[in-house]
Amino acid sequence: MSPKEKLEYVMDLCATLNEEVVSCEGFDDCIMGIAVGQHNKAVLVYDRDRIIQKLMFKDGMRRDEAIEFFEFNISAAFVGDSTPLYVTSIKTIFDHVERIEHDEEA
């Protein structure tokens, strides 16, 4: 199954579980999976850091600009019980911690 076919499968599965599924337009390649959200509705789960990276590379934003844009325009958008979730992985968190520790040592 190609990446595009896998994505279509996940989207179809989520729509089967929740007819009102909401996607974050333009960030399908940042989908991590499906979770059960409010009122037992399936919602799409996105990788927060992949979205921020995509904003930086696609739209030429600096990291701080991309974070601000994400927080104000994407993650703050509430569209009801089907609002997507945005996740930062444990690996990403510890990568940031290691970078901070490395910078403090330098």
Cα separation, 82 vs 38, in Å, equals 8
Q: So where are the chain's domains?
A: 3-105
Q: What is the pLDDT of residues 38-93, one digit of tens each?
A: 678 889 999 999 999 999 999 899 999 999 999 999 999 988 888 999 999 888 87
pLDDT at 54: 96
Tell me: pLDDT of 98 over 80: no
Q: 86 has which bridge partners?
A: 46
Strands 42-47 and 85-87: parallel
Q: Can you give the pLDDT at residue 82?
A: 87
Question: Model's pTM, two decimal places?
Answer: 0.82
| Euclidean distance between CA atoms 25 and 79, whole angstroms | 13
The pLDDT of residue 51 is: 96
Distance CA 106, CA 103 (A): 5
